[in-house]
Structure 1
Amino acid sequence: MGNCIKHLSERVSLIASDDTWIEGNAIHQLHHTASLAGMEQVAGMPDLHPGRGYPVGAAFFSRGRLYPALVGNDIGCGMALWRTELDARKLGAEPLEKRLGNIDGPLDASWADTVAQVVASHALEGAGHAQALGTIGGGNHFAELQRLEEIHDEAAVAALGLERRRLVLLVHSGSRGLGQAILQDHIERFGHRGLGDDGGDCADYLARHAQALRFARGNRELIARRMLERLRGGGERVLDVDHNFVAAATIGGNTGWLHRKGATPADVGAVVIPGSRGDYSYLVEPVADARSLLSLAHGAGRKWMRGECKSRLSARFTAEQLSRTHFGSRVICRDRQLIYEEAPQAYKPIDSVVAALCDAGLARPLARLRPVLTYKTQGECCR
């Protein structure tokens, strides 16, 4: 235990086994981030991969200064898991797909009261971008119906109200255009140099950041409710965990700012770590450990850059073939470019990511979830 935590330098650590796929440019970005002013420690997760200047699948701890660019544009992106009343024994991908239809566009007027309730409960008044509420977005965002295939801890799973006979719904989305607008405004004013934590500019960013976190959670709730209404099955939220945000934290006795860019908090109870759309997801119990900056992987992590996926795969697979998985599950993605970018082959195997976390003593598996139907886009309004 612990042999999967590698210390690359005094400030840089990496959670990975010897056979975990880690691209060299991601390591370079990890070291670059460690050199930023005020940065105390950075930790790469086993899903680490290169991002736009900064790595994805990592946590960063600074003192005296925080960096909005490390959080990125999708503030509050995260995972919500809902238990549903849908019968896992009777409902397969085809009937579920027919019921679901197209949920790309904005919510219509019939949702006005529900949207108002969510806006009020999440204190979203004045946030703007209300038309995006209830929409998944593009990129790696998705909503997926899953079945409990293997349970490792019956008591823990039962305590969450999950049952084999009922499908669960996993929603992965964020703050949509609101987070983008916040980051863009910040970069135009301050570039990538970050903010001292003792000024009004920092307080202003944190207030807008908090609003984006609330927006993202409200958005995931509306996505789930929208889908469950179409599927004619009720449901309740089990957990909702952000993986793109910055928060005050104490690490090793020092108080500072913990940035997570594609990193799941390890101090909030059970979390889901999803694989690619053609792989399992895992429900795990985290272990809060300062060596990983109180964080876990947030998914499988990319192996290939988006721009190279279609050229690598188009000679081997049609878009239609990529909409079916070896599980017999279906992927609704009518954007031909996106379905290649999000192909399972472009991601690391989730088993290797979760195994590295478990071998490092950072997580314990509770259940393995198998995909049934994944919704990304019907080809409208996904960008």
Structure 2
Amino acid sequence: MFSRIDRYRWSFQDSHLPEVTLFAGENVAFDQRAVRELRQMLEVQGTMNRWSSHAPEAFPEGAGLQKVVLTPDFHKAKGIPVGTVVQTRGFLLPQAVGNDVGCGMRLHTTSLTAEQVLGHQKALIPKLRRMFFEAGRNIPMNRLQREALLREGLLGLMDTTPRSLQEGLWQLFHDQDLTHEAEHTESLGSRRARNTLGLEDFLGQRDFTRDGQIGSLGGGNHFVEIQRVKNILHPGIAHAWGLRKDQVVVMVHSGSVSVGYTCASMIREHLSRLYPAGLVHPRNQLYPVPNAEVHEETVLQNWDALNAGCNFATANRLMLALMVRAVFQDLEMPTDFPLLYDATHNMIWEEDGTYIHRKGATPARGFEAMQNTPFRFTGEPVLVPGSMGTSSFVLAGLGLREALSSASHGAGRVLSRGQAMQGSTQDLDDLLRQHRVVTPVDFARTRPDVAREKLKELLQEAPDAYKNIQAIMETLQGAQIAQPVAELEPLITVKG
């Protein structure tokens, strides 16, 4: 079981397992269900050992689990807890990423003030609802663009989108400083996939047609939020990043929607074909992918699927942000809209001969690791949203190797979705009105029974279902994982 090392760290004690460290301060709620799920996940070491004994050539020498880090928002998910970082050598564990391949966070700064935005809220809220949920978005794409996006990410999309394409959101796309966009996106928003196998339905026609996937918010805890900079916590870094008190910013949390799900399904199919027929299948249904020459093609197929899904997720967040800018422009609120940072928190990274798998954990690298980026003097921007109606935070990564340079991607659940749905819809209704939450349902105009059903669904994301974001911040700062830079408060939240 876990034993406390110090004020911010726990150690998982088991002589047969790799080093496991949980970062959680005294005020961070503990999820016992996630601990049981963690134990099941760690059985992948035994799966690898059995496979290696059956076929010694499958795994390179020294293969195995190296280290596991659990961030403060550690909580039960499906198969592998959210807030888990797994370091392996000699094999990939693609299922550690989950179905929402490439899910991540994005933050744009603006030249608007909270007073300007709230002065337009009466018109802003219905325009946001139309843009996000009533077919208001217009993002025509052709097959060439879609294929380049999947195979080469943001850089591929830039190369295949002519400036003459000005319809819908493309005018705003060209209005962005696209070089800045790429430089302020983790991995330039461009991971190379050799092909788009299995994604033929997404590629669509050769002619320009409205795209049915990109610009999709998704459900669960995904959101687009217009926020105000409430407090500056590190003036020097805030100034370098263009953050100032009372400024309006736009935060996006979303992923790869059905494209990512398709990619994850392809990965599961690859794994089922790869596992030796003579071995008992693992109880946890988690399959390592040996990084040996005999399995090279399967490894590459997994990378293709992961990279394509991640590329789509990054572009999806870009379009979701531009949808907000389009609404601002429509209401005659022109604004600068530079990207501060975009980073995924569901992906695999190759580092120093090992693989770092992050599920619901965001990179938090220090300035040394960011030397070839605009963040070489500050460390990597870390975006940590709170629960609905609470503060979010911008931090600077400190590159703590003990934490595998990883931080929380949010507050983390304390109640399951089923438990949360037993809460009071009246309390949630009051919260939605107080915090200006835009949903597909206009509660002022819809039928009472439809409104009640939507409220029950939204109870899954009620603040009481999540850990205290201040306790998460205390741990990240106290453990020297990341330095808080600014606190953001919600003005208007868009949720699917």
2:182 matches 1:88 = no
2:267 matches 1:186 = yes
- Residue aligning to 2:419: 308
State whether residues 264 and 305 of structure 2, in contact with CA within 8 Å, keep that contact through their aligned partners in structure 1.
no
Which runs of 5 or more structure 1 residues have no equivalent in the other structure?
Answer: 378-383
- Residue aligning to 2:364: 266
State whether residues 128 and 438 of structure 2, in contact with CA within 8 Å, keep that contact through their aligned partners in structure 1.
no
Q: 2:267 & 2:251 partners in 1: Cα distance?
A: 31
Matches within 5 A, 1:191-340: 191=272, 192-198=286-292, 199-232=296-329, 233-234=334-335, 235-250=337-352, 255-267=353-365, 269-314=380-425, 317=426, 319-324=428-433, 328-333=434-439, 334=441, 335-340=454-459
- Residue aligning to 1:355: 474
2:93 matches 1:67 = yes
SS of the aligned residue for 2:338 comes to strand
- Residue aligning to 1:365: 484
Task: Say which is worse superposed, 32-41 or 151-160, in terms of deviation.
Answer: 32-41
- Residue aligning to 1:32: 40
Q: For 1:212-234, what per-residue CA distance to the aligned partner results, in whole angstroms no more than 9, with x for missing partners?
A: 11111100001111111012243
- Residue aligning to 2:10: 6
Q: 1:35 & 1:62 partners in 2: Cα distance?
A: 13
Q: 1:44 & 1:305 partners in 2: Cα distance?
A: 19
Pairwise CA distance, 1:18: 2.4
2:104 matches 1:104 = no
SS of the aligned residue for 1:89 comes to helix
State whether residues 264 and 306 of structure 2, in contact with CA within 8 Å, keep that contact through their aligned partners in structure 1.
no
Q: For 1:291-347, what per-residue CA distance to the aligned partner results, in whole angstroms no more than 9, with x for missing partners?
A: 112100100001111112121334xx25522313xxx42112333333111111111
SS of the aligned residue for 1:123 comes to helix
Report which of the two has the higher share of strand.
1
- Residue aligning to 2:275: none
The structure-2 alpha-carbon separation of the partners of 1:297 and 1:95, relative to structure 1 and needing over 3 Å to count, comes to same
Which runs of 5 or more structure 2 residues have no equivalent in the other structure?
Answer: 46-63, 161-195, 203-210, 273-285, 371-379, 442-453
SS of the aligned residue for 1:311 comes to coil
The structure-2 alpha-carbon separation of the partners of 1:147 and 1:8, relative to structure 1 and needing over 3 Å to count, comes to same
For normalisation by structure 2, the TM-score amounts to: 0.69
The structure-2 alpha-carbon separation of the partners of 1:338 and 1:123, relative to structure 1 and needing over 3 Å to count, comes to farther
Q: Which amino acid aligns with 2:229?
A: L
State whether residues 122 and 215 of structure 1, in contact with CA within 8 Å, keep that contact through their aligned partners in structure 2.
no
Q: 1:179 & 1:341 partners in 2: Cα distance?
A: 22
Identify which of 222, 238, 263 aligns with 1:141: 222
2:22 matches 1:19 = no
2:221 matches 1:123 = no
State whether residues 79 and 172 of structure 1, in contact with CA within 8 Å, keep that contact through their aligned partners in structure 2.
yes
Percent identity between matched residues is: 29
- Residue aligning to 2:444: none
Q: Which amino acid aligns with 2:484?
A: P
SS of the aligned residue for 1:96 comes to helix
State whether residues 146 and 370 of structure 1, in contact with CA within 8 Å, keep that contact through their aligned partners in structure 2.
yes
Pairwise CA distance, 1:99: 3.6
State whether residues 74 and 412 of structure 2, in contact with CA within 8 Å, keep that contact through their aligned partners in structure 1.
yes
The structure-2 alpha-carbon separation of the partners of 1:204 and 1:112, relative to structure 1 and needing over 3 Å to count, comes to closer
Q: 2:319 & 2:228 partners in 1: Cα distance?
A: 21
Q: 1:96 & 1:108 partners in 2: Cα distance?
A: 15
Q: 1:162 & 1:359 partners in 2: Cα distance?
A: 23
State whether residues 34 and 42 of structure 1, in contact with CA within 8 Å, keep that contact through their aligned partners in structure 2.
no
Q: For 1:145-187, what per-residue CA distance to the aligned partner results, in whole angstroms no more than 9, with x for missing partners?
A: 1000100122211211223343100000011111111111222
Pairwise CA distance, 1:283: 0.7
Task: Say which is worse superposed, 94-103 or 269-278, in terms of deviation.
Answer: 94-103
Report which of the two has the higher share of helix.
2
The structure-2 alpha-carbon separation of the partners of 1:106 and 1:99, relative to structure 1 and needing over 3 Å to count, comes to closer
Pairwise CA distance, 1:79: 0.3
The structure-2 alpha-carbon separation of the partners of 1:121 and 1:245, relative to structure 1 and needing over 3 Å to count, comes to closer
Q: 1:108 & 1:44 partners in 2: Cα distance?
A: 38
Q: For 1:69-124, what per-residue CA distance to the aligned partner results, in whole angstroms no more than 9, with x for missing partners?
A: 110111110000001233222321544314423213667556559x9599484436
State whether residues 322 and 339 of structure 1, in contact with CA within 8 Å, keep that contact through their aligned partners in structure 2.
no
SS of the aligned residue for 2:494 comes to strand
Q: 2:438 & 2:267 partners in 1: Cα distance?
A: 35
Pairwise CA distance, 1:8: 1.4
Q: 2:253 & 2:127 partners in 1: Cα distance?
A: 20
The structure-2 alpha-carbon separation of the partners of 1:259 and 1:105, relative to structure 1 and needing over 3 Å to count, comes to farther
State whether residues 2 and 359 of structure 1, in contact with CA within 8 Å, keep that contact through their aligned partners in structure 2.
no
State whether residues 75 and 412 of structure 2, in contact with CA within 8 Å, keep that contact through their aligned partners in structure 1.
yes
Q: 2:145 & 2:214 partners in 1: Cα distance?
A: 11
- Residue aligning to 1:177: 258
Q: 1:143 & 1:164 partners in 2: Cα distance?
A: 20
